[in-house]
Amino acid sequence: SDLQWQYNNVSGSAGWANIPANTNPIHWSGATTATLQARPATTANNNTVLRVVVTAADQGVTATSANATLTVA
């Protein structure tokens, strides 16, 4: 299976984009793994909406997770 994390900064209304590794202002790591990390996460990233897309190409199946909202205190 292949994993790809996606983000949307406006609560799902601006469209989804794949999370690339090593981009500013956040360094995302694990964009194609089960665990996504954001460093540094600042209050500017508060309310970023995330989801993961899982694809089993050999079986022709794609599944998308429920949305999760990043909260930075």
* pLDDT given for residue 21 in this prediction: 64
Encode the chain (73 residues) as per-residue pLDDT tens digits. 799 999 886 655 568 889 886 666 567 888 888 998 888 888 888 888 899 999 998 988 999 999 999 898 8
* pLDDT given for residue 11 in this prediction: 53
* pLDDT given for residue 57 in this prediction: 84
- What pTM, to 2 d.p., does this model score? 0.79
* pLDDT given for residue 51 in this prediction: 94
Distance, CA of 53 to CA of 41 (rounded, Å): 22
Phi-psi region of 25 (alpha: psi -120 to 50; beta: other; left: phi over 0): alpha
